[in-house]
Copies of this chain bind each other. A is one copy, B any other.
């Protein structure tokens, strides 16, 4: 017996990734994929990689129409659009996994400060922030999942064990992250052209990226106190992957081996978090195409800082893969069902 799923907004890279994963998921039937731009066009014509994997054509259907035929819907829409669509599915009793930012911030004022006016704010309180490694039980019973941002996922998983154990001077946290270009989506803009990106590397939106309040919300929750963080995103000349290099001053004396053990314990039993061997840190190429988050932790006794490096595939653990992981939890399936393919290397 399979779960009927639909994807609303399925023509971008995240939408494609959802189709890629769901088309190979043994317990799922993908019943609809929407796109205004490509309505009527077979998915495999837009994405030839999917030829033979799906016979779906994109439809331009209303949320009501889609809701009538599915159990779970994935919203792969820009922020501001999800908030218009999600309520229809919630009202229809469907499980909603929203990959936009619209239900991630629990504080309405914060959302409206960083994003825009919210038109379905009443749903914010019912949404569960979908990092299974932290909120597994809440997710199982959720009707609306706020699927985390890509940068936040890498940073939150990287810091959670240290924060829960009260090891850090939280006022010193700096997250220096770099993302592959697929994070910018498939819209044709000059800044995402091959010639603009290849051979380049730059910071962007320094001090202003919208993932900042999401990162702070979750880190504050883990630490049990409010604080601000510095978060600097960079654009990498790669298609997939986020690496976050996170700095903080240690407020306790802890030996490197102890710290490593603490991380290993924190994620023991997790199928999608891998702790690097002592002294090692991860490479995004080691998680490419997979739902893994790889984490390495290094102490720098010269400066009394800890340097935590975490790597994910922004389209998988940072978006579509985590969304399917959430769906598996909701549906009572094994958490790695349909997500077990090893990373593609090299």
Contact = CB atoms under 8 A, between A and B. Distances in A.
Given A200-B283, A203-B281, A236 B236 contact: yes
A199 B239 contact: yes
Interface in A285-338: 285-290, 292, 294, 296, 298-300, 302-303, 305, 307, 309, 311
A237 B237 contact: yes
Given A203-B307, A232-B307, 20 more contacts: A24-B340, A24-B341, A50-B342, A50-B345, A51-B274, A174-B305, A195-B239, A195-B346, A198-B346, A199-B288, A200-B238, A200-B241, A200-B285, A201-B236, A202-B283, A206-B298, A206-B307, A207-B307, A234-B245, A240-B346
A230 B302 CA distance: 8
A280 B53 CA distance: 18
Contacts of A289: 289, 344
Residue in A203, A296, A298 whose Cβ sees the most chain B Cβ within 10 Å: A203
Contacts of A172: 172
B245 A176 contact: yes
A282 B48 contact: yes
Given A24-B341, A285-B199, A303-B228, A186 B182 contact: no
A193 B156 CA distance: 30
A67 interface: no
B230 A305 contact: yes
A277 interface: yes
A20 B228 CA distance: 42
A191 to B, nearest CB: 9
A283 B271 CA distance: 34
Interface string A182-197: 1000101110111111
In this complex, which of A178, A195, A237 has the most chain B Cβ atoms within 10 angstroms of its Cβ? A195
A203 B309 contact: yes
A285 B49 contact: yes
Interface in A73-122: none
A47 interface: yes
Interface in A200-256: 200-204, 206-207, 228-230, 232, 234, 236-241, 243, 245, 247
6 contacts: A48-B276, A49-B342, A51-B286, A198-B238, A206-B307, A344-B344
Interface string A53-87: 10000000000000000000000000000000000
A194 B198 contact: yes
B240 A307 contact: no
A5 interface: no
Contacts of A181: 193-195, 198
A53 B228 contact: no
A243 B234 contact: yes
B182 A195 contact: yes
A263 to B, nearest CB: 14
A343 interface: yes
A107 B251 CA distance: 31
A193 B45 CA distance: 18
A127 to B, nearest CB: 25
